[in-house]
Structure formats: structure tokens, C-alpha cells
Structure 1
Amino acid sequence: MIRGFLLVLFFAGFGLATSLNAQDVETSASPSRNNLLGIRISSSDAAVNHSITYKRFISSDVALEGLLSFTDPGALGILVEKHTLLGSSGIQWFWGAGAYFGFSGGRRFGAQGAIGLDYIVPSLPLNFSLDWKPELNFTKQFSFEPAALGFSVRFVF
């Protein structure tokens, strides 16, 4: 019951976020390619580890990213990220912060940060991202997970 409610809440939140900005915005990497959907593979036992990832650019350099973890512990994370183009290569570096809520394997809630590199292939609808996403857990057991490296592959539309 709670899992279904959280899924509805997740998709409703992103529906709201995308409807707040109805026009396409040009990202600094590629025009009119604002939605990215794919998977993220993580190296650690963070609350938000292997997950489905959806990123939506809400301006040319700011994105909202939602992560729905599909392994134990199940969790939902939301990040706000600032992207900056590195030279003319098309590679962007980004940093951001957000929160997560764990809904299996014990209730968890905490803060998460992110820093990484992001690349949208100009001629293909593909995005590759390498990031470090540490987490600070506030509930169940106060703890810090620093070893959360991840690699994402996303379809761009």
C-alpha cells in the first residue's frame, strides 16, 4: 500500500515539475532535449543505489533528478542539480543536493548530494553520467555513506 502511494507521489511530483515549465528550454549541451530517462548503477549500499533515473531540465543549466531505487533497500530520491558546460566538448559537470526516503528495509530519510560529469551524445538520443552521490541518513541509524559512485545511461527525449 505504501509502495503504491509512493510511486503515485513520485510520478505526480514529476508531472507537476514538468507542467510548471511547459516550454522546451535549451540545455547548454543540446537544444530541446530536456527529458532523460534511464538506469543508474551504484557501487555502494547507499539507500538510493541501483535505480531508475529521470532527469528534467527546468532551465538551461538547472535540472531536477528523481531516482527510484529498485533493490533493497527501496528508496526514492530527488535532487536539484546545477550544470556547467566544460569547454566545447559537450561534457558538463554538475553538482546538486536533495533528499531521499526509504520505503523498504526499514524507514530511512536523509540528505544526499551529487557531483559528477554528464554527456549527451549530439547525434544520438543517449546520455552518459558518472557521479558521486554521498548520503547522510537521519533516521533508523544516523550514518554517512561516502562511497556512492554511480554510472547512468539514459534515453534523451
Structure 2
Amino acid sequence: MKTVALSLLVASILVLGVQEVNAQTRYRTALGVGIDVGDGPTLGGPQIKHFFDGTNAGNAQVLFGNDVTVLGVDYSYNQTIRGTNGLNWYIGVGPQLAFVDNGRWWGGDDETYIAIRPAVGLEFKIPSAPLAFHFDWKPWWNLSNNTFFEPARFTLGFKFTL
């Protein structure tokens, strides 16, 4: 009888532990579309986000629009907001390359711009579906070709989680 009771106790603890781990798990990888809006051109394109562990993630995107193509990668630190189911905040930063082809907003030249983009935002993963959405403030700090800082830039993302 002791063996049966001990086995049930151990099984119960394992089940509760697995449920707790699953409740904290976001997703491992997500594929989607990113939209970059604000002062200047609106850009859009594919993106991928991958969690290396429970809080650290990498994001890569290719954005197109108004005679420019932007390649970017970002690191982000992610945390769950207590008392919510699927809502996280994050902060991050990453380098960006903008390839311009006679871009009107970019000064009309064929040039490559190097920038750093910090990000602060919210992401919501729908608990019952493989979908996630994000919104962040992501200013553009150009480091080359007439250095400038554009604070009024934001991104929206729609992702399918794997």
C-alpha cells in the first residue's frame, strides 16, 4: 500500500511540474510578417523569431518599401507580465542595413545605411492558437551617411508559432 501511495504522489508531482513548465513556455520559433511604420516610408516583409531559452530571443527580418530594402537582426530579452495569459514585454537592440535605390525619403541617392535600432514592446501569444502579435517602439539611429536619429518608428508583427 505504501508503494502505491508513494507512486501516486510522485506521479502527481511530475504532472503538476509538467503543467507548470508548459504554462511558462511561450513558443520556440515563429514565422510571420512585420510592418514598420512612422515618419518616413512604411515597410513590410517576412520575419522569424526564435527563443534560445525562456527569456532570450533573436529576430530577423527583411523589409521592403519606397525604394529601400532593410535587413535586420535583433536580440530581445522577454518577460511574462504577471497575471496575464500570453502577454509578454520585451526590450532589445539590433543592427540594420538599408539598401537604398534612389529613395526619395532617403535623400535620393543609391547608398547603404548602417543603423542601430533599440526596441521596447509587447507581444501577445494567443494561448489556444498558434498565433502571436507584437507592437513595439523601434526608433532608427542611423550611423552612416549623414547620421540622424528618427524616434517616430514603430513595428507591428503577426506570427504563426511553431
Choose the corresponding residue for 2:76, options 81, 84, 91.
Answer: 81
RMSD (Å), alpha carbons: 2.2
Q: Which position in structure 2 is the counterpart of 1:53?
A: 47
Q: CA deviation at 1:96?
A: 0.3
Contact 1:108–1:137 (8 Å) recurs in 2? yes
Change (3 A) 1:37 1:48: farther
Q: CA deviation at 1:44?
A: 2.3
Q: Which position in structure 2 is the counterpart of 1:151?
A: 156
Unaligned runs of at least 5 residues, structure 2: 1-20, 102-110
Secondary structure at the aligned position of 1:74 is classed as strand
Choose the corresponding residue for 2:94, options 98, 111, 119.
Answer: 98
TM-score, normalised relative to structure 2:
0.73
Question: d(CA) in 1 for partners of 2:159 and 2:132?
Answer: 5
Secondary structure at the aligned position of 2:146 is classed as coil
TM-score, normalised relative to structure 1:
0.75
- The aligned amino acid for 2:123 is D
Question: d(CA) in 1 for partners of 2:42 and 2:57?
Answer: 18
1:12-48 deviations in whole A, cap 9, x for unaligned? xxxxxxxxxxxxxx797535x2111111122225689
Q: Which position in structure 2 is the counterpart of 1:137?
A: 142
1:124 aligns with 2:119: no
Change (3 A) 1:139 1:92: same
Q: Which position in structure 2 is the counterpart of 1:16?
A: none
- Give the number of the structure whose residues are more often strand, by fraction: 2
Secondary structure at the aligned position of 1:153 is classed as strand
Question: d(CA) in 2 for partners of 1:77 and 1:48?
Answer: 15
Aligned residues: 131
Which protein shows a greater Rg? 2
- The aligned amino acid for 1:77 is G
Unaligned runs of at least 5 residues, structure 1: 1-25
Q: CA deviation at 1:134?
A: 0.8
Secondary structure at the aligned position of 2:68 is classed as coil
